[in-house]
Amino acid sequence: MGQIQLSYSTFGLTELDFLDAIDAVDRAGYPGIEISFHRDQFNPFDIDDAYLARVKQRLDQRRVKAACVATASHFFDPLRPHEPSLMALSRAARKRRIDLVRRGIDVARHLGVNLVTFGSGFIRAEHVAHPQVDPGELLVDSIHECLREIRDDEDITLLVEPEPGMYIETLAQGLDLMRKVDSPKFKLHIDICHAYCSEPDYIKALGEAAPHARYLHISDAQAGYNLKVVDDHAELAPDLGFASVLVHFPDSAEFLLLDREHPTYFREQTPSAARRSRIDALLARSGVTRPLATLDYRSLYAGASPLDDEIFTWMISVPGLSFDVLERTRPIVAWLRGVRGPALQQRMVANTLTGVVHFHEIPGEGTLDFAASFKALTDNGFSGYGSVELYHHVASWQKALDDSYRHLAPFVGAH
């Protein structure tokens, strides 16, 4: 029987000075704290050994212990999170991410932390354009290069975190990657929210992955409106029972929404006879029977709104398309969600294997079963820290910090 100790990620405390963030987590009663890289708060390219010594001294003076170093998927470019990844086609691009993970290892070394985590990254347009290159081979090679930074006598383990939409998305894919890397210093990082988004039976999947995991992320989530985005191609046959589909026509950069209730063509010019025929074929193939609406794409509101965080989080999780295409979906999703008019979709937009929204909510504010999740993990041998990661709640960090502890403590026997 294993045991989970609660931790809190500094990624949800980025409005605070880093040392003050340590104090806040300690006061809230968490046994652990995740040290997360952030360009404005704890930037590994700015900090030096003297500052790391101050961080270690502060940790030594408090009850809270450093649980893991998270190497910040959002670090390089806030508008292009996770980029460049460990499987970018350019060697120079991969080296940037490798260097960041290496710096995570160095920080772990200075602070006496034995876990460093990262994600695989996404299949992007560059991979689609070069199908002869195996992104999985690039990923494995990059991980081996990161592992060479760890000395044989060091107790430091690298962890991969499966994430919705990523190349390594499910726990089974994470376990398969472990086998391919084949190193005792490379294990699994389970995000319970991600499992909820990606696993048809997430409780069972958590139990099967538990023996190979060394660390957890914790947040809540709930079902949403599942929406996929794809380029049009001859074999396209959407299953609208699984998700609605936004079809992108590369020649015009226009979109067709295949949705049972709200089929819509977003155009900038009158469609040709050939385009109209193709639209009719896609509607028929998808089983859409409602009349097609047509909207002028330029009439859609494209400015800032309270839904920006939700839409951006969905948008960047869509693989295989350029960021320019993804940016053009933003006003369409805003229109669906009622930014400037009635909401055609009341639920948050999702791009996951289950329809659960990948948007980290405060534990207790979604529908995830934490009691069953923790039991599946500990019954199957997981012992370690579970860090609450709430980067969507930075502005209300004190509430998120306190409410998370209050909700989770009974499940782990904390006091």
Cα within 13 Å of Cα(345), Cβ side? 23
Angle, vertex CA 195, rays to CA 193 and CA 198, nearest 5: 115
Note whether 288 and 392 are same-domain residues: no
The per-residue pLDDT of the chain, averaged, comes to 96
Note whether 265 and 164 are same-domain residues: no
- Give the whole-angstrom CA distance, residue 14 versus residue 153: 34
Note whether 102 and 242 are same-domain residues: no
Give phi and psi for 34, each to the nearest 5.
Answer: -90, 130
Q: Which residue type, as a one-letter code, is found at position 49?
A: D
Distance (Å) of CA 197 to CA 2, 193, 300, 355, 391:
24, 6, 30, 7, 17
CATH number, residue 138: 3.20.20.150
355, part of any domain: no
Range of lowest pLDDT (62-76, 144-158, 178-192): 62-76
| Domain C-terminal end among 350, 378, 402 | 350
325, part of any domain: yes
Q: Is residue 13 very low, low, confident or very high in pLDDT (cuts 50, 70, 90)?
A: very high
**pLDDT, tens digit (0-9, with 9 covering 90-100), for 106-118:** 999 999 999 999 9
Q: Is residue 415 very low, low, confident or very high in pLDDT (cuts 50, 70, 90)?
A: very low
Note whether 198 and 66 are same-domain residues: yes
**Rounded mean pLDDT, 80-89:** 95
3-state helix, strand, coil in the chain (%, to 5): 40, 20, 40
161, part of any domain: yes
Q: Is residue 79 very low, low, confident or very high in pLDDT (cuts 50, 70, 90)?
A: confident
**Rounded mean pLDDT, 149-174:** 97
- Give the whole-angstrom CA distance, residue 232 versus residue 103: 41
pLDDT value at 414 more than 80: no
**Rounded mean pLDDT, 173-189:** 98
141, part of any domain: yes
Which has more confidence, 414 or 89?
89
13, part of any domain: yes
| Domain C-terminal end among 331, 350, 369 | 350
Domain that holds residue 263: 225-350
**Rounded mean pLDDT, 400-408:** 98
Q: Give Cβ neighbours of residue 179 (< 8 Å, ≥ 6 apart).
A: none
Note whether 212 and 86 are same-domain residues: yes
375, part of any domain: yes
Note whether 72 and 196 are same-domain residues: yes
**Rounded mean pLDDT, 49-78:** 94
Encode 90-131 in three state secondary structure: CHHHHHHHHHHHHHHHHHHHHHCCCEEEECCCCCCHHHHHCC
Q: Give Cβ neighbours of residue 145 (< 8 Å, ≥ 6 apart).
A: 98
66, part of any domain: yes
Q: Are 109 and 151 in contact (CB under 8 A)?
A: no
**pLDDT, tens digit (0-9, with 9 covering 90-100), for 234-263:** 999 999 999 999 999 999 999 999 999 999
Q: Is residue 156 very low, low, confident or very high in pLDDT (cuts 50, 70, 90)?
A: very high
Note whether 128 and 189 are same-domain residues: yes
336, part of any domain: yes
**pLDDT, tens digit (0-9, with 9 covering 90-100), for 187-231:** 999 999 999 999 999 999 999 999 999 999 999 999 999 999 999
pLDDT value at 102 more than 70: yes
Considering its fold, how many domains does the chain have in total? Answer: 2
Note whether 25 and 59 are same-domain residues: yes
Q: Is residue 90 very low, low, confident or very high in pLDDT (cuts 50, 70, 90)?
A: very high
- Give the whole-angstrom CA distance, residue 47 versus residue 43: 6
Question: Which residue's entry shows tokens 């999985």?
Answer: 136
**Rounded mean pLDDT, 398-406:** 98
Question: Which residue's entry shows tokens 């991980």?
Answer: 143
- Give the whole-angstrom CA distance, residue 86 versus residue 118: 9
**pLDDT, tens digit (0-9, with 9 covering 90-100), for 335-353:** 999 999 999 999 999 999 9
Q: Is residue 133 very low, low, confident or very high in pLDDT (cuts 50, 70, 90)?
A: very high
- Give the whole-angstrom CA distance, residue 167 versus residue 122: 5
The enclosing H or E element of 147 equals: helix 135-147
| Domain C-terminal end among 350, 372, 403 | 350
Note whether 241 and 209 are same-domain residues: no
Note whether 369 and 394 are same-domain residues: yes
Note whether 307 and 370 are same-domain residues: no
Q: Is residue 326 very low, low, confident or very high in pLDDT (cuts 50, 70, 90)?
A: very high
Tokens of 111: 């602070």
Note whether 259 and 205 are same-domain residues: no
Q: Which of 178, 48, 181, 44 has the alpha carbon at shortest distance from 99? A: 44
Q: Is the full-model pTM beyond 0.85?
A: yes
The predicted structure's pLDDT at residue 413 = 76
